[in-house]
Structures are given as C-alpha cells and as structure tokens.
Amino acid sequence: MPDPRLSEKISRLRAAIARASRLCVLTGAGASAESGVPVYRGNEGLYAAWSAADMATPEGFARDPEKVWAWYHDRRRQLAALKPNAGHLALAALQKDRLARLGPDSFRLVTQNVDGLHQAAGSTGVIEVHGSLWQIRCTGCAAVTDAPGPLDAVPHCPGCGAVCRPHIVWFGEMLPPEVWSAAVEAASACDVFISVGTSAVVQPVASLVHLAADAGALVAEINLEETPNSRWLDLSLLGKSGDILPALVDS
C-alpha cells in the first residue's frame, strides 16, 4: 500500500540529513533489488529455493566445497552483469557532496550486501559487514584475496596453496572484529541513521539501529514494507529505495 505521508516524511528526513554532522546509512538486500539482485527472505527470496545449511555454513562447505563453489560461481556470474540502481547512485552522490563540504566523518555507509554495487556506483570506504562476493579467503592461512574475475572450480590460495572459500560471513560465524567495530562506531557516533532495504532480523547487524537510537540519533528506515522496527522508529518511509533515495538527495 502506498505511504500516504511519504512526501512529508521525505522532506523531514531531508532536513534532518542537512542538519546532521554525521550520517550513517545501513543497507540490506532490498537496496539492490531494483538492480536485479534477489533478496534473501520472502516467497521470491534465495532462502525459498536453496538450503542455507548447505550453502551458507562452514559445515556445508567442509562437507562439499565443490557444490558450494558451484553455487557461488553461478551467483558471481549473475551478479557480475548487474548495474547499480538509482538508490546506489543517490547514496554515492550524497557521500561525495558531504565529504567535500563536511569532511570524512560526515558519511558512513554500512552494508550487509556482498554484491559490490555500492562501490560500482562510486561509494568509497564501504563497511561490508557480511563480506564480499568478489573476495576469497584461505581456509589455511586466512589470507583474503581480491578475486573479481573467473576462478577455478575450487580456488586455492595464491600464497600457501590451501583451499579458499568465499569471503562471506556464514551462519554461526562471527563478523570480522575490525569490520564490526567500524560499523558500531559509525552507528553510535551519528546524528541520523537510515536503514534501507533490510528485514532487520539478522543479528548482530540488526542491533545497529538500536545503538544509534540509544545514542540519540534520529533513526529512519526505507523499506517496501514494515519491519520489526517500523513502529518505534522516528520515521518509516514505505516505498522503493530506488525512488526514495534519489528524492532525498535531490535538493
């Protein structure tokens, strides 16, 4: 259902962004949906069609690395062809403008997405809390290697020769501590926090909005539908991120 007060909420959020010294934006799969990237949950989501226990756990990888890599090779092929959407481009333009006028602490982008589309849109310093589809990690020496191009069926570490896995956080795993610290710092130190296109159910990332609110930030979300946070947030904007983010950024 269309949000009847959407344009008023966009004006309020735009004014809050203009006043903010520090802005933190958190994105989830919905921010990439209009580029053609499937979301995770819901009838059309990835988890409706494949087993997270097989494809997104260290145990699944240990059981059958070929099968897991075959799935990731497919996903890499599909996503390599996709382009950033208007929402990604709006966030990149907002960052560029704020950094030029207000300095490096004025904008932080935290993403749960592993698709690299924020960087493709021109965003820099993106805090990728769940890793990247375009990096691999050695199961022996833990070295992380950029791997944007074609890979062997099961890639091996260029340094020590051990099997590599996708550099993606799987179920039951901790987030890389330095990446998580950067996300916590960004959320705790901002005046405005905007959560975009995430179902806000996966921890610990779902706690970031609470950290921001507890620290006194104005907290807002942009989503096609209500989330567990919509009722208590300062502003819940219902609609597509590819429509709302450009409207927020256009002055």
From 5-13, 17-25, 38-46, 136-144, give the range in contact with ligand OAD by CB under 6 A. 38-46
Tell me which residue has tokens 């990835």.
46
Which residues in the 200-229 window bind ligand OAD by CB under 6 A?
202, 222-225, 227
Please identify which residue in 14, 41, 96, 210 interacts with ligand OAD, judged by CB under 6 A.
41
Q: Which is nearer to ligand OAD, 38 or 105 (CB)?
A: 38
Cis amide leading into 246 (omega within 30): no
- By the rule CB under 6 A, 198 interacts with ligand OAD: yes
- By the rule CB under 6 A, 35 interacts with ligand OAD: no
Helix, strand or coil for residue 193? strand
- Catalytic, 210? Answer no
Q: Assess contact for 68 and 55: CB atoms under 8 A.
A: yes
By rule CB under 6 A, what count of residues binds ligand OAD? 25
Which residues in the 132-171 window bind ligand OAD by CB under 6 A?
168-169
Q: Which is nearer to ligand OAD, 123 or 199 (CB)?
A: 199
Numbers of helices and strands, H then E, in the chain: 11, 9
Residue 54 corresponds to which tokens in the numbers above?
């097989």
From 74-82, 134-142, 194-202, 211-219, give the range in contact with ligand OAD by CB under 6 A. 194-202
Q: How many CB atoms lie within 10 A of CB 63?
A: 12
Least spacing, CB of residue 173 vs ligand OAD, in Å:
8
Q: Assess contact for 105 and 125: CB atoms under 8 A.
A: no
Q: Assess contact for 187 and 208: CB atoms under 8 A.
A: yes
Helix, strand or coil for residue 59? helix
- Report how far residue 106's alpha carbon sits from residue 99's, in angstroms, rounded to the nearest whole number: 6
Given the residues 88, 118, 130, 167, select the one marked as catalytic: 130
Task: Give the residue from 243, 163, 227 showing the smallest Cα distance to 195.
Answer: 227
Give the dihedral sign, CA 133/139/145/147: negative
Q: Which is nearer to ligand OAD, 95 or 112 (CB)?
A: 112
Q: Which is nearer to ligand OAD, 57 or 139 (CB)?
A: 57
Q: Which amino acid is at 37?
A: V
- By the rule CB under 6 A, 126 interacts with ligand OAD: no
Least spacing, CB of residue 160 vs ligand OAD, in Å:
26
- By the rule CB under 6 A, 25 interacts with ligand OAD: no
Q: Which amino acid is at 131?
A: G
Kindly list the catalytic residues. 130
Chain residues binding ligand OAD by CB under 6 A are 28-30, 33-34, 39-41, 45, 112, 130, 168-169, 197-199, 202, 222-225, 227, 240-242
